[in-house]
């Protein structure tokens, strides 16, 4: 596909995003404000491609052509020819707004500016822009060159033309692009919360991480809730939970469980620290009430998806597809609803609400979707 893509920020995400577009045939101009990040970029890109070359997924010719399409440039001014710029810089609003101003000074009027923010509102990043209609979110998942899903986030003023270009170019790069509302956590990071939170609630009630994970794996999940926290890092998971809790006004549905805080305070971050909730061990033993554990976690996943759906800007299919692609879930929340039936989900939530401790009261109140169905 023709077109020039700019990428700003050559860290974990930016590097992967460069590869996404370069592998699809786009010319990519990429930069970083940190000189060492620019200097090491080519070496890191080569290292990121090495496993694919070794496996034979790409030929030496493909490999060289991908790298040839990538130019590391000294500053944002050199991104002027780009028709789409994706920013993956530090996660602070002031830095992103200032980058938008810098990009607007050099880009063509119809060039699209996409932010890869995870926790800031796209609307806030577009505030103050000269042409807010060209600003939108393209939320990639880590590692960007591997994960199929990209959430496409419009703010109220984003133009259809900008959404079309960002969507078309990103689909041409092999991604499944799903529209997501400009709400905290978009779809995946928001709807995933109960997968961790409800497992932590069970842990605080005295169940073991191993048996909870075994129950989820028996229900078809490739990895259990605690195995996933160990993989992501308890610190990253805590930061995401705290961010969402703040953004949602501290609602008990986003309760920050002490068990997670304690885990981080103790440095048991998971794979990266060598010790986590279950890592280096494995899930198990399978408890006799495994089905009830899975039902409880899925009931809260269904309910969260229902609340998000009620806020608008997404669809049942969008949420189901996003969670299956973004988290490798075996089924989406609305497929869980169909499988269990609304009566069972409602009854499960009602039981949880009735026995909830004071700090979790209102956590399990049914979403409008469940009240209506
Ligand atoms: N890491 C993830 O799993 C993940 C997933 C999705 C989205 N994101 C988002 O992607 C963005 C980048 O995250 P990351 O994990 O790649 O961070 P990172 O720290 O690995 O990389 C950020 C890079 O941006 C550069 N940078 C910082 N300020 C800059 C500026 N003003 N101009 C140019 N370059 C600048 C830094 O030198 C660094 O190389 C953040 O907005 C983050 O929220 C991260």
pLDDT tens, 14-67?
A: 999 999 999 999 999 999 999 999 999 999 999 999 999 999 999 999 999 999
CATH classification at residue 86: 3.40.50.720
Expressed in angstroms and rounded, the spacing between residue 125 Cα and the centre of ligand 1 is: 15
Strand order across the 27-31 sheet: 70-72, 27-31, 4-8, 84-87, 112-115, 135-140, 149-153, 176-180
Question: Which DSSP helix (H) or strand (E) runs through 329?
Answer: none
Q: Give mean pLDDT, residues 118-141.
A: 97
Expressed in angstroms and rounded, the spacing between residue 210 Cα and the centre of ligand 1 is: 33
189 belongs to the catalytic site: yes
Catalytic entry in 87, 133, 151, 298: 151
**CB atoms < 10 A from the CB of 311, how many?**
12
Question: What residues line ligand 1, using a CB cutoff of 6 Å?
Answer: 8-14, 32-34, 37, 88-91, 95, 99, 116-118, 140, 142
pLDDT, residue 2, reads 79
Q: Of the residues 180, 204, 224, which one is the last residue of a structural domain?
A: 180
pLDDT tens per residue across span 259-308: 999 999 999 999 999 999 999 999 999 999 999 999 999 999 999 999 99
Q: With left for phi above 0 and alpha for psi between -120 and 50, is residue 328 left, alpha or beta?
A: left
Ligand 1 atom 6 nearest Cα? 141
| CA atoms in the 13 A half-sphere facing the CB of 244 | 25
Reported residue count of the chain is 373
- 130 plus 93 within the same structural domain: yes
- For residue 371, pLDDT over 90 is answered with no
Catalytic entry in 116, 189, 237, 303: 189
98 belongs to the catalytic site: no
List all residues 6 or more positions away from 245 whose beta carbon is below 8 Å from its beta carbon: 251, 254, 255, 256
d(CA 284, CA 370): 33
Give which of 224, 17, 21 is closest to 116, Cα–Cα.
17
d(CA 209, CA 196): 11
Q: Of the residues 120, 152, 180, which one is the last residue of a structural domain?
A: 180
- For residue 12, pLDDT over 80 is answered with yes
Q: Decide if 186 contacts 319 (C-beta within 8 A).
A: no
242 belongs to the catalytic site: no
- 222 plus 337 within the same structural domain: yes
Ligand 1 atom 37 nearest Cα? 34
Measured from the Cα of 115, ligand 1's closest atom is: 41
Q: Decide if 334 contacts 320 (C-beta within 8 A).
A: yes
- 155 plus 195 within the same structural domain: no
Expressed in angstroms and rounded, the spacing between residue 55 Cα and the centre of ligand 1 is: 29
pLDDT tens per residue across span 343-357: 999 999 999 999 999
pLDDT tens per residue across span 151-190: 999 999 999 999 999 999 999 999 999 999 999 999 999 9
- 342 plus 199 within the same structural domain: yes
pLDDT tens per residue across span 98-124: 999 999 999 999 999 999 999 999 999
- 231 plus 85 within the same structural domain: no
Q: Decide if 53 contacts 63 (C-beta within 8 A).
A: yes
Average pLDDT over the chain reads 97
Domain that holds residue 99: 4-180
Measured from the Cα of 118, ligand 1's closest atom is: 43
Expressed in angstroms and rounded, the spacing between residue 89 Cα and the centre of ligand 1 is: 4
The sign of the dihedral angle between the CA atoms of 330, 121, 77, 177 is positive
d(CA 162, CA 164): 5
- 299 plus 333 within the same structural domain: yes
**CB atoms < 10 A from the CB of 359, how many?**
10
- 70 plus 170 within the same structural domain: yes
- 167 plus 200 within the same structural domain: no
pLDDT, residue 205, reads 97
Ligand 1 atom 19 nearest Cα? 11
- 96 plus 114 within the same structural domain: yes
- For residue 5, pLDDT over 80 is answered with yes
- 15 plus 148 within the same structural domain: yes
Catalytic entry in 118, 225, 237, 303: 118
CATH classification at residue 307: 1.10.1040.50
Expressed in angstroms and rounded, the spacing between residue 241 Cα and the centre of ligand 1 is: 19
- 289 plus 194 within the same structural domain: yes
pLDDT tens per residue across span 208-267: 999 999 999 999 999 999 999 999 999 999 999 999 999 999 999 999 999 999 999 999
Expressed in angstroms and rounded, the spacing between residue 205 Cα and the centre of ligand 1 is: 37
The position carrying tokens 């700003």 is 8
Confidence grade of residue 373 (pLDDT, cut at 50, 70, 90): low
Q: Of the residues 158, 180, 202, which one is the last residue of a structural domain?
A: 180
Count of domains in the chain? 2
The sign of the dihedral angle between the CA atoms of 192, 179, 235, 94 is negative
- 51 plus 161 within the same structural domain: yes
d(CA 209, CA 228): 11
303 belongs to the catalytic site: no
Task: Give the alpha-carbon dihedral of 210, 234, 140, 86, to 10 degrees.
Answer: -170
d(CA 213, CA 359): 25
pLDDT, residue 114, reads 99
Catalytic entry in 116, 133, 139, 211: 139
Measured from the Cα of 37, ligand 1's closest atom is: 39
Q: Decide if 300 contacts 254 (C-beta within 8 A).
A: no
pLDDT, residue 189, reads 97
Name the residue of 6, 7, 12 whose CB sits within 8 Å of the most ligand 1 atoms, as the mutation to test its pocket: 12
Expressed in angstroms and rounded, the spacing between residue 313 Cα and the centre of ligand 1 is: 26
DSSP label at residue 140: E
């Amino acid at each position: 596909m023709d077109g020039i893509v700019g990428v700003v920020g050559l860290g974990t995400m930016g590097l992967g995003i460069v590869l996404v577009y370069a592998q699809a045939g786009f010319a990519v101009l990429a930069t970083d404000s940190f000189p060492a990040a620019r200097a090491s970029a080519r070496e890191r890109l080569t290292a990121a491609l090495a496993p694919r070359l070794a496996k034979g997924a790409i030929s030496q010719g493909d490999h060289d052509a991908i790298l040839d399409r990538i130019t590391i440039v000294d500053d944002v001014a050199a991104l002027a020819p780009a028709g789409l710029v994706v920013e993956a810089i530090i996660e602070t609003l002031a830095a992103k707004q200032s980058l938008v101003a810098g990009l607007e000074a050099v880009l063509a009027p119809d060039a699209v500016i996409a932010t890869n923010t995870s926790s800031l509102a796209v609307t806030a990043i577009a505030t103050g822009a000269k042409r807010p209609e060209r600003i939108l979110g393209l939320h990639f998942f880590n590692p960007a060159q591997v994960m199929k899903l990209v959430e496409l986030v419009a703010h109220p003023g984003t133009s259809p033309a900008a959404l079309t270009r960002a969507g078309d170019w990103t689909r041409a790069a092999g991604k499944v692009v799903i529209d997501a509302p400009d709400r905290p956590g978009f779809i995946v990071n928001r709807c995933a919360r109960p997968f961790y939170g409800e497992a932590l609630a069970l842990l605080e009630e005295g169940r073991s991480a191993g048996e909870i994970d075994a129950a989820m794996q028996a229900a078809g999940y490739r990895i259990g809730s605690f195995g996933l926290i160990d993989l992501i890092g308890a610190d990253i998971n805590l930061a995401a939970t705290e961010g969402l809790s703040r953004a949602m006004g501290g609602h008990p549905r986003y309760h920050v469980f002490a068990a997670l805080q304690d885990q981080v305070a103790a440095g048991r971050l998971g794979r990266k620290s060598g010790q986590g909730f279950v890592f280096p061990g494995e899930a198990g033993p399978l408890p006799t009430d495994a089905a009830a554990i899975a039902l409880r976690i899925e009931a809260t996943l269904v309910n969260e998806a229902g609340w998000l759906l009620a806020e608008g800007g997404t669809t049942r299919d969008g949420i189901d597809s996003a969670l299956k692609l973004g988290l490798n879930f075996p089924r989406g929340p609305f497929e869980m609803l169909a499988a269990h039936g609304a009566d069972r989900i409602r009854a499960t939530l009602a039981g949880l609400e009735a026995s909830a401790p004071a700090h979790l009261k209102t956590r399990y109140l049914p979403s409008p979707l469940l009240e209506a169905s």
